[in-house]
Amino acid sequence: MVFKNEKIGPHNVIYAGKRIRLNDLTVNKFQMDIKSKIITVTTSVKAPVEKVWELWTTPEHIKNWNRANDDWHTPKAENNLRAGGRFVSRMEAKDGSMGFDFGGTYDEIKAKKLISYTLDDGRKVEVVFLSDGNTTKITENFEAESTNPIEMQQEGWQAILDNFKIYAESKS
């Protein structure tokens, strides 16, 4: 229900059929909650953690698995795997219609266990490697960005992780 002569805008919302006026503090908190939404993707790879780590961190291997689908590829990857080091992967549509650099700076590295980094847009990502003999569980936790729906982001990151699993299992 909209009240007469009231406009719906960034501080006026309809919730459960009632008009609610949000103050600036509430709006800012809501925007922060969206930004700090953590998305998790995971997979288990039938390969020892030593092999998984090598395939995950070596630029020549990254170029072979880092894509969400077969219409994309990563023609260039650089990786300085140390705290304070930078990484960048050039992701492009195979038809040349679009492309972007995906990069950031490493915050913490624990060999074969953890990679923590900050993307160039300021979002945080954590990748955990859990060894169980000849199987390695990989869990990625990342802060959502505000441009695309949460589901789309989760599906994209999961697709890349699934490609990694296929690639890693073909190499072990």
Residues of the chain with CATH 3.30.530.20: 37-171
Question: How would residue 36 be classed by pLDDT, with cut points 50, 70 and 90?
Answer: low
- Report the first-to-last Cα separation within the chain, whole angstroms: 61
CATH no. of 37-171: 3.30.530.20
**Cα-to-chain-centroid distance, residue 170:** 24
Which pTM value belongs to this model?
0.79
The Cβ of residue 47 has, within 10 Å, a number of other Cβ atoms equal to 20
Burial class (CB in 10 A: 0-12, 13-18, 19+), 24: exposed
pLDDT of residue 24: 46
The Cβ of residue 97 has, within 10 Å, a number of other Cβ atoms equal to 8
Mind listing the pLDDT tens digit for each residue in 48-96? Answer: 999 999 999 999 999 999 999 999 999 999 999 999 999 999 999 999 9
Pair 142, 38: CB distance under 8 Å: yes
Name the 3-class secondary structure at 15: strand
Question: How would residue 15 be classed by pLDDT, with cut points 50, 70 and 90?
Answer: very low
pLDDT of residue 4: 40
pLDDT of residue 172: 80
Average pLDDT over residues 110-128: 98
pLDDT of residue 30: 40
